[in-house]
Structure 1
Amino acid sequence: MFSLTGAEISHFLLAMGCLLAMAHLLGFLVERVYIPRVIGEVAAGLVLGPTLLGHFFPEAFQWLFLGFPMEDKLFGLLYQFGLLMLMFCSGLKFQTHFNKEDIKITSALVIGATIPAFIVGWFAADIFNLSPYLGTADNPLALKIVIAVSIAITSIPVISKIFIDLGIMQTRFAKIVIACAGIHDILLWVALGFATSIASQGGVFTAGIAFKSIGISFGFIIGTFVVGYFLFKRMTIIKQNLLFRSSNLGYFLFIMFMLSSLAGNLHVETIFGALLAGIVAKFALPKAISERLEQGVTNISFSWFIPIYFATVGLQLDLVKHFDPLFFFGYFLFATLTQTLAVYITSRFIKQDHLTSFNLGVAINNRGGPGIVLSSVAYTAGIINQEFFAILVMLALITSWIPGTWLRIVVNKGWRLMPGDENLIPHKINEDDKIRSINQSG
């Protein structure tokens, strides 16, 4: 009970170590050519998975990742932990301080980027012939919702990393984009929760099921904010909180696991609990503690759990057998133009200049981690099949690449990101700088 043989442990550690090393190596290499790290991490799974290793050396792939009966379950467990940690980290990146003008712009962008893109995405299911991409749940309504979400979703972790790499995280532009992405995605996670709920009902859809699912999701959000804010604000830094005193990080991980478990038991996606735990911690805790928490969670998550998560996504893809490049190109153009135009038109409507509007449209059209999470959850729930899973993952990866390239051009040419960011001086810190600093101090 609760044990593996020595040979199984050794085998799993070898496979996990190879996958983790490849994820970090390819992530590092793609960053050298200004590509988001997540693309390299997923590519690690493509290299070691069915797409390359499994295609040319199928016996080696089977031996490495399916070498004993429970190995796939162990990778599945790490995959889920990585997903939870990614969402927790995303919640900790929410912005908490805005002036009235920023609130006005953010609110307009949330509405303008979500509703039109969602509506267009909804009707896209009728434009494209998507019946071949239905999953085992065989639920066209759930598939429609997933398509709409895939058009409108935005990535906090990837766009935040791009801003940090470019040294513009302190700008007004970055604050508005991250806030927009966060609020935006909460609404879309509710929609995804509804999709997985009706998929689990065996295709049965009634108004009662719809109201129940959406009501539970919003009830969970409101309850978590109210109760969680009170608990974090009043009961964290007190003498009687022995768990916090014994381990600050352990305390917050406990809260995150409990909220995720509660979400799962309420038939809300478990990742929603992790996301809300991070958001509430960011809002309720003193700045010094929330920053220390974010640093601690980031160190372990981005060193181990999150790279393994993205690499495992790559392991599940077989781009040789289950990928249609022509369909992907059409879907990519459709999704990108829809989202970018929705944001651009909204920004122009609130009297932002052309360059600012385009910058916002490109930055928000970045699906990254949440796009991959969407595809993972939808695939696991049987809403989509492996072919569409590959399409959505590739859509997330390519749309994560574009904002980094465009914003780098804007910064390097000295163009203004948006009003309020004039005379921008980027503040870049990277690992090479840290190494040089250590060598010089030594």
Structure 2
Amino acid sequence: MNPDQFQSFFIQIAVMLAVAWLFGYLMKRLAQPIVLGEIIGGIVLGPTLLGSFCPDVYAMLFPDDKAIVTGMAALLKIGLLFFMFAAGLEVNLVHFRQSKKLIAMTSFCGGMLPFALGFVMVMLFPTFWGQTDRLFLFALFMGTALSISALPVIARILMEMDLIGSRIGMTVMTSAMVTDWFGWILFAFLLRQLGHGDAEEGVVTTLVLVLGYTVVVLGIGRWIVLPVMNNSRLFKDWPGGLLSFVALLIMLAAVGAEKVGIHAFFGAFLVGMAFSQGHDPEQEKTINSMIQPFALTFFAPLYFVSVGLKANFSSQLDVTLCSLIFFVACFGKIVGAGLGARFGGMQWREALAVGVGLNARGAVEIILASIALEYHLIDQRIFVALVLMAFLTTLLSSVVLKYLLK
């Protein structure tokens, strides 16, 4: 990039961060998840509002310059890696051993019902979605998108309500971890199918490669890397070196994921998941206090503002499609997880609270939709509907959960 392009690139970053801070602060004052404010900021800054009412200003801030667009895309992809590493750190399956039946029933029902509804509604009405080829893969994607939850957003809501250590909080968090782990595996499988086509490799081969890579990364991280780090004074006496080493592992796992044919984000997520189990408390504190804040306060705001910049709600908003996706997502997750928690031994009001808590899609849903858009599996119309669903389900969970647990 030349000096003028660098200047425009840095102005974009500054404006995106400023908008993310402003609208994030407003959401915080309204006791809502900050990520909602960041998405709203992107919508205001993007083609929906600024591009429609002040096209000259929008064109000046976001010029159609290949070098700038490429540079911003690279920065956002790096940010996504660190965000997914931070999300992986939230996965802790210790609670599963404490309430196996409750977690198993909640995870299974809360994952299977929305997945089945999403899959079936695509297969029964393919023309409604505008899908002719790759219908089966698109149906798998919609099932995955509706079954997954937003672990970081749910954790933030429960922390704000001081419920993270309660029975309901642990059930919601652990069930979300289990469901999301299977969801990410299925999504990684889908991305490999999209990247390599249907002819060269069969479904079984692809699934074996995805699961095999998962086992390899988790095994190396848990049984080789972590013991070395826990017993090395180099990492204990040099926090900066520890963070550099973790960043190196994230990049290597991302490269390996791309080589296998999976999206790089999945490798970063697996590294975070490996680090969440059996890590030295002091090193874990260092990683959490330095990598997570930077990932969640610099990279994440940029990424979620960029989501608003991608979506054009003024021209791509399909009310019927948005209403259908929102209704099916809420019905499948709340009813499925609620019944699972009830079968697992909870009272009806507690079970309903678990279902409502797991209904928050938030950041994770938007990441799935963004990557699916990048791979041309969905169009702008479906992308806008999924972003709106993620926004509304997160808002609904935050408001209703507070009412249920008064």
TM interval, short-chain normalised? over 0.9
- Once the two structures are overlaid, the 10-residue window that deviates more, 191-200 or 288-297, is 191-200
Q: What is the aligned partner in structure 1 of residue 16 from structure 2?
A: 19
Could you tell me which of 291, 300, 303 is aligned with 1:297?
Answer: 291
Q: What is the aligned partner in structure 1 of residue 165 from structure 2?
A: 170
**Preserved CA contact (<8 Å) 2:27 2:34:** yes
**Preserved CA contact (<8 Å) 2:342 2:348:** yes
Per-residue deviation at 1:410? 3.5
1:329 matches 2:313: no
Per-residue deviation at 1:242? 7.3
Q: What is the aligned partner in structure 1 of residue 390 from structure 2?
A: 396
**Preserved CA contact (<8 Å) 2:114 2:328:** no
Report the AA paired with residue 6 of structure 2: I
Report the AA paired with residue 95 of structure 2: F
When residues 12 and 184 of structure 1 are mapped into structure 2, their CA distance, relative to the original with a 3 A threshold, is same
- Once the two structures are overlaid, the 10-residue window that deviates more, 153-162 or 180-189, is 180-189
Report the AA paired with residue 170 of structure 2: K
The Cα offsets for residues 79-100 of structure 1, whole Å up to 9 and x where unpaired, read as 2122212211111112243374
Per-residue deviation at 1:214? 0.9
1:259 matches 2:253: yes
Q: What is the aligned partner in structure 2 of residue 37 from structure 1?
A: 34
| Aligned mates of 1:348, 1:10 — CA distance in 2 | 57
Per-residue deviation at 1:128? 4.1
1:119 matches 2:116: yes
Report the AA paired with residue 157 of structure 1: P
| Aligned mates of 2:100, 2:332 — CA distance in 1 | 24
When residues 320 and 66 of structure 1 are mapped into structure 2, their CA distance, relative to the original with a 3 A threshold, is same
**Preserved CA contact (<8 Å) 1:243 1:250:** no
The Cα offsets for residues 193-217 of structure 1, whole Å up to 9 and x where unpaired, read as 2222222344x368x5211111111
Report the AA paired with residue 153 of structure 1: I
Q: What is the aligned partner in structure 1 of residue 70 from structure 2?
A: 73
| Aligned mates of 2:183, 2:64 — CA distance in 1 | 38
| Aligned mates of 2:145, 2:23 — CA distance in 1 | 26
Q: What is the aligned partner in structure 2 of residue 223 from structure 1?
A: 216
Trace 1:68-217 onto structure 2 (pairs within 5 A).
68-98=65-95, 100-130=97-127, 132-134=129-131, 138-202=133-197, 204=198, 209-217=202-210
Report the AA paired with residue 186 of structure 1: W
TM-score (ref. length: structure 1): 0.86
Report the AA paired with residue 341 of structure 2: S
When residues 205 and 388 of structure 1 are mapped into structure 2, their CA distance, relative to the original with a 3 A threshold, is farther
Report the AA paired with residue 333 of structure 1: F
Report the AA paired with residue 216 of structure 2: G
| Aligned mates of 1:320, 1:284 — CA distance in 2 | 48
Q: What is the aligned partner in structure 1 of residue 339 from structure 2?
A: 345
| Aligned mates of 1:398, 1:341 — CA distance in 2 | 17
| Aligned mates of 1:62, 1:149 — CA distance in 2 | 36
Report the AA paired with residue 7 of structure 2: S
**Preserved CA contact (<8 Å) 2:96 2:174:** no
Could you tell me which of 50, 53, 61 is aligned with 1:53?
Answer: 50
SS of alignment partner, residue 276 of structure 2: helix
Per-residue deviation at 1:230? 1.6
SS of alignment partner, residue 314 of structure 2: coil
- Once the two structures are overlaid, the 10-residue window that deviates more, 345-354 or 230-239, is 230-239
**Preserved CA contact (<8 Å) 2:76 2:299:** yes
Could you tell me which of 365, 368, 373 is aligned with 1:371?
Answer: 365
When residues 261 and 387 of structure 1 are mapped into structure 2, their CA distance, relative to the original with a 3 A threshold, is same
Report the AA paired with residue 53 of structure 1: L
When residues 345 and 237 of structure 1 are mapped into structure 2, their CA distance, relative to the original with a 3 A threshold, is closer
When residues 270 and 392 of structure 1 are mapped into structure 2, their CA distance, relative to the original with a 3 A threshold, is same
SS of alignment partner, residue 283 of structure 1: coil
1:233 matches 2:233: no
| Aligned mates of 1:233, 1:126 — CA distance in 2 | 44
**Preserved CA contact (<8 Å) 1:363 1:403:** yes
Structure 2 residue runs without a partner (length 5+):
none
The Cα offsets for residues 327-346 of structure 1, whole Å up to 9 and x where unpaired, read as 21122112210111111121
Q: What is the aligned partner in structure 1 of residue 355 from structure 2?
A: 361
SS of alignment partner, residue 202 of structure 2: helix
**Preserved CA contact (<8 Å) 2:123 2:136:** no
SS of alignment partner, residue 141 of structure 2: helix
Per-residue deviation at 1:120? 2.1
The Cα offsets for residues 243-268 of structure 1, whole Å up to 9 and x where unpaired, read as 99451211111111111111111012
**Preserved CA contact (<8 Å) 2:16 2:302:** yes
| Aligned mates of 1:410, 1:242 — CA distance in 2 | 45
**Preserved CA contact (<8 Å) 1:88 1:278:** yes
**Preserved CA contact (<8 Å) 1:78 1:309:** no
The Cα offsets for residues 131-172 of structure 1, whole Å up to 9 and x where unpaired, read as 54449xx42111101110121011111001111222222223
**Preserved CA contact (<8 Å) 1:244 1:250:** no
Per-residue deviation at 1:125? 0.4
Identity of aligned pairs, percent?
A: 22
| Aligned mates of 1:17, 1:85 — CA distance in 2 | 20
Q: What is the aligned partner in structure 2 of residue 416 from structure 1?
A: none
| Aligned mates of 2:185, 2:247 — CA distance in 1 | 23
**Preserved CA contact (<8 Å) 1:75 1:312:** no
